[in-house]
Structures are given as structure tokens and as C-alpha cells.
Structure 1
Amino acid sequence: MFERFTEAARGVVTGAVSHSERMGTDSVTEEHLLLALLDRRGTRASFALTALGVGDRRGSLEDALADSRRRGGLSKADAEALAGIGIGLGEIVSKVEEAHGEGAMRADGRRGRWWTGHRSFVPGAKEILVEALRIARGRGDRHIGDEHLLLALTARPGVVAEVLADHGATYTAVERAMYGRTGDGANPGLAEAG
């Protein structure tokens, strides 16, 4: 599949590995893919992020992602679901950190793991790459570009999609910024996946 990636998309993948290295993690996550997309300039995805004002709010995105890592990688929707059954995630995080130190629930692959030097992609990050392929096919594109990776990040439920949506970058908004229209409103990647 990697041979179908454009130069920009390959740059995102290698950039994600670099972000993983800089953050000291032993695997590449969806978060690393997003950070690598934010590094790009002069591409369709960077244009969309700039048009939506997301590129100018990198610090806010990074803070939201760090907050999620502190919660063990759980999204706000996960926290709300737990609250619905009487479990306060904030209280749990505080108690765990009291007992085991700050960041004890981090979901970044650092605590208590032996590092091999090889950075594999976590299942969620692999799903983003597959979703990008589905989206490209659904749009009739022959290659997978960074725009397809960005759309995939907004399409797959999880922390990164939630953080992007909180910053105004939903699937529909990104599609509109890149292509000027949204077609029939369907998400071609998810429709094909079902």
C-alpha cells in the first residue's frame, strides 16, 4: 500500500515516526500522524488545516492531546460514558497519580515497557492508513495523499477525531475546505468499510 502514497503522504508517515522518536515512545499513534500533518506546508491537507484555523492553534491541539494521554487515552465520550454509570474519570486519574506519580495512566507507551528500537504502528494508526486508502478509492483517486490521511483522522472515532472536531475540523469541514463541496454528505471511506 505504501507505494500508492504520494510524496506528501510518505512525508506524514515518516514525520509520525520522527514525532514518536522525539516523544520517546516505542510506537506510532494517530496523534503522531496528526502532528506530522501539522508540520507539512504547501499540501492540500495543510491548506485545509490553515483554512479552518487549526494550523494556528497547534498549542491548543497539543494540550488537548496531552490531556487525553493523562486520562489513559480515553476520549471525552469515554469519560462521559463512565460518568453516566457513576465513575468519575478525573477522580480516578487523581488517585492513580497520588499513588503512582504524575502521568501514571499515560497512554503513550512509555511506562514499564522494554524498548526494542523499532517503532511499530499501533492498531489505531494502521486503521487510519487503511481508512485513507478507502477514502481515496471512494473519491476515485489513484493515489493516497496527505488529504486522505487528514480525512481518515477525522473519520475514525477516537481522541484525535474528537480533538480535531473540537477545533472545527470535522470530516465535512475538512472536505469542504479541500474540495469546496461535500458531495451527498456521505463519508466514502466509512460507507465502504461497512
Structure 2
Amino acid sequence: MFERFTKDARAAVVGAQEVAQALHSATIDTRHLVVTLAESGGAAAGALHDGGLDPADVAARARRSVAADGGLDDEALAAVGIDLAEVRRRTDEVFGQGALDRAGRQGRRRSHHPFAPDAKKALELALREAVRLGDKGIDQRHLLLGVVRADCPGGRVLEAALREAGSDVAALRLAVERSRHAA
């Protein structure tokens, strides 16, 4: 399947791996792919914008979602009298921005980040979207459609952003398909 990926789609997959590594994630999931697609400035970011979203906001949401999965539970700590925001602020003051998150993930560093099942499914669905649209190659827009079509964390980030922007998945799909014809 990867032989059908365009140069920009391959770069997005490599970028997702880099995002996973930077966020100290054990695997590459669809949220990492959403970050890369939104930050790329390419066709997928353009389609997000045309669909009523701010790509920078989408990327930030996806990053926060990843951090929330591997981070500390604010509510559980508050129940025992610990103000995590204050602990985080003081830790950042002394050890630098993001020190608490880095410290909690040191033992999980890896050089190879495998794809999570949701990311594999989204890549498969990107191929199906390319076939459905009659395209020979799989580009960033197909990857975005694959994420939206899959029941996955990255898709849920996009759906929440769309809902808050007063839009929906159908509008995003339409924006992607329009951008495809304009290219």
C-alpha cells in the first residue's frame, strides 16, 4: 500500500512518527497523524481551513489529547489535595517547560514507534478513499479522510473541533473533495 503514497503523504507518516517521539508516545496513533496533517501547510491543512477549522487549533487539540492520555489525572490528584496546575507551574520554573511530563515518560523512550491499530485502520481507509475517488495515489487529503472515516482518537479530535466551529464531518469531507478538484 505504501507504494501508492505520494511524497506529501509519506512525509505526513514520517511526521507522525516524529510527533509520537516528541510527545514520548509508545505508538503512533491517528492523533499524531492529525498533528502532522494540520501543521504541514499542505493540502490537508488547506482542507481543514476550508472546512471551517483553524489547522493550528486542530494540531493543538490533538497534542492535548495525546498528553491527556499519558499524563497525570488532575481530578484524582485534586481529590487528595494536590493542585496539579501549581505543581506543574513550579516544576516548569525550576526544571524548564514540560519537565514534569518528560520525567514521567523517561522510561518509555523508544527509537521505533509502531503504528497503533487505529492508525493502521486509518491508513487502510485512506487507500479505500483514494479508490472511491478514482485517484491513483494516496495523498494527504486521503489520509485526512481515512482518519475522519475511522472510529479513532484522531477522528474524535476532528469531530469535536468541527462541532465547536459549527460544522460537521460532511462539510470537511466536502472541503477535501473540493480541494482535490482544485489541485
Say yes or no: TM over 0.5: yes
Equivalent residue runs for 1:84-99 within 5 Å: 94=76
Opposite residue 23 of structure 1, the aligned amino acid is L
Matched, 1:148 2:147: no
Q: 1:159 is matched with which residue: 143, 153, 156?
A: 153
Matched, 1:174 2:172: yes
- Structure 1 pair 63–141 and aligned structure 2 pair: CA distance change class (3 A): closer
Structure 1 residue ranges, 4+ long, deviating more than 3 angstroms after superposition: 110-113
Q: Distance in 2 between matches of 1:179 and 1:29?
A: 24
Q: Is the 8 A contact 1:154 1:170 kept in 2?
A: no
How far 1:121 moved relative to its partner?
A: 0.8
Equivalent residue runs for 1:121-140 within 5 Å: 121-140=115-134
Equivalent residue runs for 1:20-169 within 5 Å: 20-41=20-41, 43-51=42-50, 52-58=52-58, 61-62=61-62, 65-66=65-66, 68-69=68-69, 94=76, 110=105, 113=108, 115-168=109-162
Query: Which gives a bigger RCO, structure 1 or 2 (Cα 8 Å, sep 6+)?
Result: 2
Structure holding more helix per residue: 2
- Structure 1 pair 38–134 and aligned structure 2 pair: CA distance change class (3 A): same
Q: Distance in 2 between matches of 1:65 and 1:53?
A: 17
Q: Distance in 1 between matches of 2:110 and 2:145?
A: 32
* Counterpart position of 2:11: 11
Structure 2-normalised TM-score?
A: 0.69
Opposite residue 127 of structure 1, the aligned amino acid is K
Q: Distance in 2 between matches of 1:121 and 1:70?
A: 17
Q: Is the 8 A contact 1:68 1:159 kept in 2?
A: no
Query: RMSD value over aligned CA atoms?
Result: 3.5
- Structure 1 pair 71–21 and aligned structure 2 pair: CA distance change class (3 A): closer
Q: Is the 8 A contact 1:54 1:167 kept in 2?
A: no
- Structure 1 pair 21–70 and aligned structure 2 pair: CA distance change class (3 A): closer
How far 1:170 moved relative to its partner?
A: 4.2
Aligned residue pairs, count: 156
Structure 2 unmatched ranges of 5 or more:
85-100
Q: Distance in 2 between matches of 1:132 and 1:166?
A: 21
Q: Distance in 2 between matches of 1:49 and 1:123?
A: 24
Structure 1-normalised TM-score?
A: 0.66
Partner SS, residue 10 of structure 1: helix
How far 1:8 moved relative to its partner?
A: 1.0
Identity %: 27
Q: Distance in 2 between matches of 1:178 and 1:122?
A: 25
How far 1:44 moved relative to its partner?
A: 2.3
* Counterpart position of 1:191: none
